[in-house]
Amino acid sequence: MPSREKFQSPTGMHDVLSDDELYFQKIEKICENIADFYGFKRIETPILEQTELFERGTGFSTDIVLKQMFSFRTRGGDYLTLRPEGTPGVVRSFIQNGMINLPKPVKLWYSGPFFRYERPQAGRFRQFHQVGFENLGVKNPIVDAQIIQIFFNILKELGFKNLIIELNSIGDSECRGYYKRILATYLRPYQNSLCADCRQRLKQNIFRVLDCKEEKCQKITKGAPQIINHLCEECHNHFKNVLEYLEELELPYQLSPYLARGLDYYTKTVFEISLSENEPMAKEIGALVGGGRYDDLVKILGGKDTPACGGALGVERIVSLMKAKGKKIYSAEKPQIFLTQVGESAKKKSLKIFEELRKEKIKVVETFHKDSLSSQIKIADDLGIKYVLILGQKEVLNNEIIIKEMETGKQETVKLEKIIKEIKKRLK
Ligand code: HAM
């Protein structure tokens, strides 16, 4: 017997229904314009990549790789993973397609779905969308400031005001080694008081203990030595320059000495942008943007030494906050013309007129499935249409059409071949 069970979308994965699509489109449009202005070219990489790309790229010891990947073996025996984030895929493509030979920097942006096996909650889904910007080939700190500015500008253009940029430097592989030893010395006496994950992190990636969200761990890390005080000269100067550029740009940053970010590839600058906690839902939703410099990743993934910096924003989190703030989104361009028809010959003729209007890019609504004129006019009225075109048997015979102005009720009969010109004149 066929099952009568109703199908549901998978846990943590949602349909983006038409009303939400308007928010998605608005965000993407703003990102597209900003990308164009700052000279970023769009790239699309596959949704599936070899699992090892994320293991080596995102990092073996990260929560993403340890707990959150949707991985499977294909029928052909390849081990693949639904991309949990965009940076490793972009870097793989940079290497694979010889982009190293392009003039530097290579600036790329992307937008699309990502997948993490998380516990679904506000702002945290198993399928979500990100827009990311990656700048490859330049080690100058001005790039870090510009990446932060790009995301800040996107959020500003979306109407967010109380934004907070949290900033830290986690040094490079050299100064980090030294700092890790200092941190280990500090944390060792507390190891039994840390959460189970952090006890594991002590062995695998001690850095990650710093941004654990567990209260008991945060109490301990509050007094931990800060990496910012242990940077080598180069990393120190790099960070100082980033801060100077941000000040020049008047961007409201705050130093977050324990911001480590959950991905292994970062070097030097790391940042997150969120909405002030006083704003509705801001605390539950968390960071809207995350990013940083990743000077070693291209090399780690088998390419030539190439400094890089980037970030990504979470579309669903932004949409939730826009809604929480009561931001209504414009609906798509409102049609002003409505085509009505009465009788079989008029119905046939109106099919052609509809196509002619489309070719002229005149937005028009039809109700070909309706027969009665009054019910068609009622729909046009409900939609707030400005002009209704009426085509009846008589008009078809005389090669004419009626234009009715809805507000005044005024009607004018015009020759069919002049209809485009007449409409354009009225819509001017
Ligand atoms: P991330 O911080 O993991 O960084 O993600 C960036 C943003 O994606 C977050 O700030 C958040 O808004 C959103 N996000 C992350 N996970 C979820 C989720 N489960 N549900 C909803 N939204 C989520 C990266 O992914 C890096 N690839 C960013 C980057 C680019 N760094 C350098 N270049």
85 is in an annotated binding site: yes
pLDDT score of 328: 80
For ligand 1, is residue 137 a contact (CB within 6 Å)?
no
The alpha carbon of residue 43 and the mean position of all alpha carbons in its chain are separated, in whole angstroms, by 14
pTM of the full structure = 0.91
Q: Tell me the average pLDDT of the chain.
A: 94
For ligand 1, is residue 290 a contact (CB within 6 Å)?
yes
Confidence of residue 356 (pLDDT cuts 50, 70, 90): very high
54 C-beta neighbours (distance < 10 Å), count: 26
pLDDT at 331 over 80: no
Strand pairing partners for 267? 293
Does any domain span residue 178?
no
The residue whose CA has the least distance to atom 8 of ligand 1 is: 314
Does any domain span residue 33?
yes
What average pLDDT score do residues 316-322 get?
96
* Least confident segment among 144-153, 168-177, 240-249: 168-177
Whole-number Å distance between alpha carbons of 378 and 75: 56
29 and 140 housed in the same domain: yes
CA distances from 135 to 92, 104, 234 (A): 14, 9, 20
* Domain termination residue (choose one: 300, 324, 348): 324
pLDDT tens-digit map of 61-80? 899 999 999 999 999 999 99
* Domain termination residue (choose one: 301, 324, 347): 324
Does any domain span residue 372?
yes
For ligand 1, is residue 89 a contact (CB within 6 Å)?
no
Whole-number Å distance between alpha carbons of 85 and 107: 18
What average pLDDT score do residues 125-142 get?
98
Distance 314 CA to ligand 1 centre (A): 6
Distance 62 CA to ligand 1 centre (A): 13
* Least confident segment among 10-14, 269-273, 334-338: 334-338
257 and 402 housed in the same domain: no
DSSP assignment of 105-164: PEEEEEEEEEE-----BTTB-SEEEEEEEEEES---HHHHHHHHHHHHHHHHHTT--SEE
Q: Which of 192, 216, 222, 221 minimizes the C-alpha distance to 206?
A: 221
Identity of residue 376: Q
pLDDT score of 327: 84
What average pLDDT score do residues 405-412 get?
96
Distance 274 CA to ligand 1 centre (A): 12
CA distances from 124 to 20, 114, 164, 214, 306 (A): 17, 12, 20, 17, 32
pLDDT score of 274: 97
Q: Determine the longest span between alpha carbons in the chain, in angstroms.
A: 95
CA angle in degrees (0–180, nearest 5) for 285-291-294: 155
Please give the structure tokens belonging to residue 302: 């088998």
Confidence of residue 211 (pLDDT cuts 50, 70, 90): confident
Does any domain span residue 65?
yes
pLDDT score of 330: 66
pLDDT score of 3: 61
CB crowding 385-424: b at 16 or more within 10 Å, else e: bbbbbbbbeebbeeebbbbbebeeeeeeebebeebeebbe
pLDDT at 335 over 90: no
147 and 271 housed in the same domain: yes
β-bridge pairing 71-73 and 79-82: antiparallel
The count of structural domains within the chain is 2
Confidence of residue 332 (pLDDT cuts 50, 70, 90): low
Per the rule left: phi > 0, alpha: psi between -120 and 50, beta: everything else, 290 is beta
What average pLDDT score do residues 277-284 get?
89
CATH of the domain at 418: 3.40.50.800
pLDDT tens-digit map of 88-102? 999 999 999 999 999
CATH of the domain at 127: 3.30.930.10
pLDDT at 1 over 60: no
CA distances from 268 to 152, 259, 384, 386 (A): 20, 12, 56, 58
What average pLDDT score do residues 195-209 get?
88
**Dihedral sign for Cα atoms in the order 198, 207, 165, 21:** negative
99 and 241 housed in the same domain: yes
Range of the domain at 87: 18-172+232-324
Does any domain span residue 226?
no
418 and 275 housed in the same domain: no
The residue whose CA has the least distance to atom 11 of ligand 1 is: 314
244 and 308 housed in the same domain: yes
CA angle in degrees (0–180, nearest 5) for 104-292-277: 140
98 and 45 housed in the same domain: yes
Phi, psi of 271 (to 5 degrees): -150, 160
Strand pairing partners for 291? 271, 311
Identity of residue 247: E
95 and 167 housed in the same domain: yes
What average pLDDT score do residues 292-315 get?
98
* Least confident segment among 135-139, 268-272, 367-371: 367-371
3 C-beta neighbours (distance < 10 Å), count: 6
Confidence of residue 153 (pLDDT cuts 50, 70, 90): very high
Confidence of residue 166 (pLDDT cuts 50, 70, 90): very high
159 and 267 housed in the same domain: yes
Phi, psi of 211 (to 5 degrees): -110, 30
Confidence of residue 280 (pLDDT cuts 50, 70, 90): confident
265 and 357 housed in the same domain: no
What average pLDDT score do residues 261-289 get?
93
Distance 313 CA to ligand 1 centre (A): 6
Percent of the chain with pLDDT strictly greater than 90? 86
For ligand 1, is residue 312 a contact (CB within 6 Å)?
yes
299 and 395 housed in the same domain: no
Identity of residue 117: Y
